[in-house]
Structure 1
């Protein structure tokens, strides 16, 4: 594809995203490219990168366009992005929208009027409100101020960068050094992750899924922060473990490795597709001590197994604010109403999952959120309602998991953020049921 054809395709992708505002952008993009199989891999990456660039900057682009009185169409958003972010100038935008073969049709009079007003304007305009300047939704600002205080600008900037590609080595089949050597032999250099003893960070975002190392189940794609949640579970050989809200079973796989495939893990979720994907991953990784179970309305599975597990991991559904650099569309899709509904749902899930913990066992509550309302405040409220549980300090939980040296952070719970730890934003609290 020509460079101008790529711009036109990126605009078409933006229009597809706009037509499905409540659907995750990666799913829309997968359908978009599946319907256009003629687009090659290099072109696909270039198209997606430019479209995601617009999505990342959507709030600021909307602010600029709104000041001109125009409507933010896919064409105008892309044109404003080329002008204000890439710095091509109005002449460069007009050259990209030249009406030639496979290129976008020329700018309309209204589009040119808008862009003329924008030319020469600083992208981070001094008149922007705080939320727009920091590229954060207004509803999330109060919680983020509580979490980060004076470091909020740095935290916001950390949520804007591109996310790294982290791998978790499957210790059931290999070692970290051996996996790194095997990846290097396939032309993929890596380096050990800062905190996780199982992690490798790929030097750049190279394709992993088609490598022999991945297909043979030696590594799994998993952010280092997510790996640390599984580590804090401290799942050991012979234990009975429940992975509540298991999803695609990334943490189930990690805990199976720390258990040496001995003991039992129940991967629980409410989604059939997620559990189907989980079952396939378990087979590829050589996990033999895990089973999946679908949680349905009226299901008595939890009640029948009350107080029967040594470890219960609750990776609760959340706003995903800690993953905004990886899922930039989520900051546009998620609302204050979503946030309130999720807090209620988290509380119910945590109460239900806690009944599975045996006396002396541990409950690990985790989210990929950086909002205290979904994190510390949930733990505080839970402990206020469950006098038979105590919080395990992070340093103690870190040492219990066999880790040497200080944990990532000094607070009572693990609270990770991109700008301070280089991981996605994650929260984890370890709670012990009194014997």
Structure 2
């Protein structure tokens, strides 16, 4: 249940297939996710900024997931693709940068940000984001629309205050630059400069050092690129690559995933005949590595313990040449349809979607009955912050300890299903060592029948070595950081069970 597959709820990353007309790649959600077109007749007139503001207020007040709210609101709005792209950028950018924006706004709001109505605070954040981070948005457009919204929602006093604050910020924009932010400690500087909670930055500085931690934070504020996974049962990557390029898209082979292609300028790739025909799936490049590391062969019996929406299960089925069996399990019954929809689209006949608690899989399946088991574990999800920026502000340090305890139990329960000589792969979409390296270290101490296995596919190892991500000491576990390839932060460990 970690990130990387299109359409996931919290903790499961999606895709953002192309650039908006405003020069920024849109993030997961909205017109560029696996959603219907949004250029249907409007139900009611709404501007992209009004729609974005409504979502920002709802996320702030109720803790709603931004991608789900955005998808729902855009489907109902009737906005053009251009305006939908702007609304998408405003939602994700404002949430991502909110701490930095508040730092700058506080210099111009004399009575204090905490005294503002929530909608006014969000309006100022959203408008400041346009002024300071979106170069292609004219100042007059950002300010005038903010004032108009303030007049419609409030009174003359509020609109006057909004106008004054934004125009003062615009006059001072030369001073409002990230490099000018210098706090008393490296942790505080990184946190404020890149808009992260200090406790999270402190963990990353302790784990990776200040320079790498800052690079992680900076990468988490970038827009994710679009990547597709070719269904190799129907064609090879080179054939699909030529087709995409011939259609006028900018497409290039993934630098890390053997079946991946990075695409830009493609609009809604989920709304294409090729997608509907099962020729490809939308999936993050890091996520694509997981099935490749499992390396299932035709005829094998494979269990994906936390499978929804089915991206990794379907990828393993493709790698097995459609032969053998993949059981795709998920806790929630309503997610079974996500798995079956995906496997049917891909014309896969060797995947069975099942519903159940992963803790109880040993009651459904016989001990040592699986050739390979994948535990794509529930995790803190910090590797997909670019796609779900609100988790910066909603997760706590206590959440990490709680989820690590759950991961530990899951590993113990499902490991007994692996046959002697079989494979156990553990993956997360986070950079937290408590959930990753230390989790596996503890598991191996408790289960000496397992050992790490560095026998990964040669193509993947070559790509990782060429990029300097792994060295000669590679032992079978990998921590991908978002700055490595511009893909999601991911951890993967491959283990084998003794004969």
Q: TM-score, normalised by structure 2?
A: 0.78
Distance 1:368-1:11 versus aligned 2 partners, 3 A rule: same
Q: Which residue of 1 aligns with 2:204?
A: 144
Tell me the SS of whatever aligns to 2:457. helix
Tell me the SS of whatever aligns to 1:379. helix
Tell me the SS of whatever aligns to 1:254. helix
Distance 1:204-1:425 versus aligned 2 partners, 3 A rule: farther
Deviations 1:317-363 (A, max 9, x none): 11111111222222222222322221111111111111111111111
Q: Does structure 2 retain, via aligned residues, the 8 Å contact 1:306–1:357?
A: yes
Tell me the SS of whatever aligns to 1:27. helix
CA distance in 2, matches of 1:181, 1:101: 50
CA distance in 2, matches of 1:227, 1:79: 37
Q: Does structure 1 retain, via aligned residues, the 8 Å contact 2:297–2:320?
A: yes
Tell me the SS of whatever aligns to 2:296. coil
Distance 1:287-1:103 versus aligned 2 partners, 3 A rule: same
Q: Which residue of 2 aligns with 1:309?
A: 370
Q: CA deviation at 1:189?
A: 3.4
Q: CA deviation at 1:98?
A: 4.3
Q: Which has the higher contact order (CA 8 A, sep 6+)?
A: 2
Tell me the SS of whatever aligns to 2:348. coil
Greater displacement, 286-295 / 117-126:
117-126
Q: Does structure 2 retain, via aligned residues, the 8 Å contact 1:59–1:132?
A: yes
1:81 aligns with 2:81: no
CA distance in 1, matches of 2:182, 2:257: 42
Q: Which residue of 1 aligns with 2:287?
A: 226
1:244 aligns with 2:308: no
CA distance in 1, matches of 2:237, 2:396: 40
Q: CA deviation at 1:421?
A: 2.5
Deviations 1:125-154 (A, max 9, x none): 434533222322223223312443232222
Greater displacement, 374-383 / 173-182:
173-182
Q: CA deviation at 1:116?
A: 6.6
* Gaps in structure 1 of 5+ consecutive residues: none
Instruction: Please give the residue correspondences for 1:7-406 in structure 2 after superposition, counting only pairs within 5 Å.
Output: 7-21=49-63, 23-36=64-77, 38-66=78-106, 68=109, 69-71=112-114, 73-86=121-134, 94-99=143-148, 107-111=158-162, 114-115=165-166, 118=169, 120=172, 121-124=175-178, 125-128=180-183, 129-130=188-189, 131-149=191-209, 150-204=211-265, 206-296=267-357, 299=360, 302=363, 304-393=365-454, 396-399=455-458
Q: Does structure 2 retain, via aligned residues, the 8 Å contact 1:10–1:47?
A: yes
CA distance in 1, matches of 2:168, 2:324: 66
CA distance in 1, matches of 2:386, 2:97: 11
Q: Does structure 2 retain, via aligned residues, the 8 Å contact 1:180–1:189?
A: no
Q: CA deviation at 1:109?
A: 4.7
Deviations 1:166-207 (A, max 9, x none): 100001111112222333454433111112111111034521
Q: Does structure 1 retain, via aligned residues, the 8 Å contact 2:331–2:355?
A: yes
Q: CA deviation at 1:214?
A: 0.6
Q: CA deviation at 1:89?
A: 9.6
Deviations 1:73-130 (A, max 9, x none): 2222123323443478987754333439998776545445655775514142434533
Q: Which residue of 1 aligns with 2:31?
A: none
Distance 1:402-1:104 versus aligned 2 partners, 3 A rule: closer
Q: 2:496 aligns with which of 411, 432, 435?
A: 432
Q: Does structure 1 retain, via aligned residues, the 8 Å contact 2:336–2:353?
A: yes
Greater displacement, 102-111 / 407-416:
102-111
**Alignment RMSD:** 2.9
Q: CA deviation at 1:33?
A: 2.2
Distance 1:343-1:299 versus aligned 2 partners, 3 A rule: closer
Q: Does structure 2 retain, via aligned residues, the 8 Å contact 1:148–1:155?
A: no
Tell me the SS of whatever aligns to 1:363. strand
Q: TM-score, normalised by structure 1?
A: 0.89
Tell me the SS of whatever aligns to 2:340. helix
Q: CA deviation at 1:273?
A: 2.3
CA distance in 2, matches of 1:307, 1:146: 39
Q: Which residue of 1 aligns with 2:483?
A: 419
CA distance in 1, matches of 2:357, 2:149: 55
Greater displacement, 106-115 / 329-338:
106-115
Tell me the SS of whatever aligns to 1:238. coil
Matched residues, number: 429
Distance 1:100-1:404 versus aligned 2 partners, 3 A rule: closer
Tell me the SS of whatever aligns to 1:60. helix
Greater displacement, 109-118 / 175-184:
109-118
CA distance in 2, matches of 1:212, 1:103: 43
Distance 1:10-1:305 versus aligned 2 partners, 3 A rule: same
Distance 1:123-1:266 versus aligned 2 partners, 3 A rule: same
